[in-house]
Chains A and B, each alone.
Chain A
């Protein structure tokens, strides 16, 4: 009888200690999860800011200005545009010539 009691007491102590450690582990992991989630939120914010920056740099007005002024590009007029129709057969292509 006394021996069984002793075994049970030891088992109970072990379980109690196990519970304490696992709770501690769980809290540590949870804190880490929280940190990562916070980081994810930060990154999302940064992504938004980068998108904003990209949009600002890629504004059509700005691109057009640089293309025209710095690169000396211009829009080809319709005479210099060849239109290729997916259904057109050779020899009777509609649209413009060079």
Chain B
């Protein structure tokens, strides 16, 4: 049978109906095509962005802050990641049991947690910088509304011993003091970021692009020698305690390279736990504080007078009277010894002798001498708060001022400047630039006085530590030592305090080929003794002896035990 052939089944539909349908369907397709072109080609930024945000993420790449090590590579400061716990107080929900556990983990009283949560509604830190293990356990409590983020914390294994040298970093791991601040740009890392594709499990499946490379901070090798630093610190501490001093400072320089091998201050602080810090603890006295140095400046005046040929070590200075009147003021010596040679002026530290030598010198030359050894201008180490000291222009000097400056009054210097200035005696007349970082090739020094003068001064300074000088306690068995004491009244309210002293000692050893320059300063020793030779010289001796042995410097003197003169019998210097 063929139904198709049946005339009954032939549809009798008007042609316009099928045409209309065709046109409608075709029109629909055209609309769809237009929309597709619009979405795909013309206005696709928004959709692409939305699509990408479903799978691509921008990740932060953290960068470490560089480590600080001593000259032998021992770690002095290291950053390690810690967690900070913060909360959105509105969303926090916990049971009282959870609250107790949280308080125990954060080492906070539970009331404190409540207090903090009530302080703000949208964001509050509960505790910053807790160890990662504790943070992990806080996480396990599964408290809603509690979050953690990663931060870095700096640790200083050396603690209070290195505190002033290294300084410390703030909460965001940026330097705030000391080396940490001075070398912030070197130490700091630059965090980077990158775009990645994540799958629905949160796993990274593809790296799309690196937006910014992360740069770790560079490690810094200091000139500091940890062993020597510890020795210097412990000896200084001992001296500050036995002399009941208000403060103390010591700096050890390598005379060959100008490196700062040790630098310690008291009082000090623990950089790992900085709650309750006082300004006195934070002060880096070696670099940022200046004081009137007293007799330690005498060698510079004598060196200058010898350079211009005014005197020789044997020239006699009329000091018999023990006092010298200039205008209304009178300079006194502590003892009268009769007339002295220039050598004896240094050895016995005669103020009158030094003043008389200074008065024979042109003020401009004296100013130039002080300026050339670095007084009056900061040593430019890059250390924060370096003090330059006070050295007034010579045009304004009155004769009495010129005379007192010869023995270190009316001029102020930092201990570091003083130690550096002594490199001219330790190095045949050359002043060394200083370095806080390890130096591989020593920098060139600047010639300030002639090698002959420097050698003669070395001999004079060696006599000052012999019996008959001001500091026999500075001697070290097995080594020839040279140095100079300083004892100065403290300045207070524009005048000098009667019973407050700054005692200091600067010296170097071994005299045959000086290796180390050490400067010690004690502020207000109040246990009876206050002369530099009695208070500061023993610190110098202990540190110098230990340091030379550590560095393996061969002895240059016979190894006879030193006979110390009876207590208090050293020559008192003029104050």
Query: Interface of A with B (CB < 8 Å)?
Result: 26-27, 30-31, 34, 44-45, 48-49, 51-52, 54-56, 58-61, 64, 75, 77-79, 81, 83, 85, 94-97
Contact = CB atoms under 8 A, between A and B. Distances in A.
B205 A30 contact: yes
B443 interface: no
Q: Which of A51, A55, A94, A95 has the most CB of B within 10 A?
A: A55
B205 A27 contact: yes
B554 A94 contact: yes
Nearest to B548: A78
A61 B230 contact: yes
Given A45-B80, A45-B81, A31 B477 contact: no
8 contacts: A27-B199, A31-B204, A51-B75, A54-B75, A55-B78, A59-B230, A60-B227, A83-B555
B80 A59 contact: no
Contact of B78 (A52, A77, A79): A52
Contacts of A48: 64, 67, 78-80
Interface in B54-88: 64, 67, 74-76, 78-81
A75 B478 CA distance: 15
A91 to B, nearest CB: 17
Given A30-B207, A45-B80, A78 B155 contact: no
B234 A96 contact: no
Given A52-B157, A55-B157, A61-B230, A31 B555 contact: no
B549 A52 contact: no
A79 B477 contact: yes
Given A30-B205, A56-B157, A75 B80 contact: no
A79 B559 contact: yes
Given A52-B80, A59-B158, A60-B226, A30 B204 contact: yes
A31 B205 contact: yes
Given A49-B80, A59-B159, A60-B226, 7 more contacts: A26-B206, A44-B64, A55-B78, A60-B227, A78-B477, A78-B479, A94-B554
Given A52-B78, A75-B549, A34 B203 contact: yes
A88 to B, nearest CB: 10
B11 interface: no
Interface in B218-244: 226-227, 230-231, 234
B165 interface: no
Contacts of B207: 30
A96 B478 contact: yes
B215 to A, nearest CB: 15
Given A55-B157, A96-B478, A83 B205 contact: no
Main SS at interface, chain A: helix
A58 B73 CA distance: 13
A27 B80 contact: no
A27 B561 CA distance: 77
Contact of B234 (A27, A61, A85): A61
B191 interface: no
Interface of B: 64, 67, 74-76, 78-81, 155, 157-159, 161, 199, 203-207, 226-227, 230-231, 234, 477-479, 545-546, 549, 554-555, 559, 561
A34 B204 contact: yes
Contacts of B199: 27
Contacts of B64: 44, 48
A89 B76 CA distance: 42
Q: Which 3 A-B pairs have the closest CB atoms?
A: A78-B478, A55-B157, A60-B230
Nearest to B476: A78
A48 B248 CA distance: 34
Contacts of A85: 554
B477 A77 contact: yes
B155 A52 contact: yes
Contacts of A64: 230
A59 to B, nearest CB: 6
A78 B205 contact: no
B203 A31 contact: yes
A85 to B, nearest CB: 6
Contacts of A56: 157
A3 to B, nearest CB: 35
Contacts of A49: 80
A70 to B, nearest CB: 18
A27 B205 CA distance: 5
A78 B231 CA distance: 17
Nearest to B553: A83
Nearest to A76: B549
Contact of A96 (B74, B230, B559): B559
A71 to B, nearest CB: 18
Contact of A78 (B79, B159, B549): B549
A78 B481 CA distance: 15
A95 B555 contact: yes
A61 B205 contact: no
A48 B203 CA distance: 27
Q: Which of A48, A54, A85, A94 has most chain B Cβ within 10 Å?
A: A48
Contacts of B226: 60
Contacts of B231: 60
Nearest to A85: B554
B508 to A, nearest CB: 18
Given A52-B155, A55-B74, A75-B549, A96 B205 contact: no
Contacts of B561: 79
Given A52-B75, A60-B230, A81 B204 contact: no
A60 B233 CA distance: 11
A95 B205 contact: no
A4 B178 CA distance: 79
A75 B78 contact: no
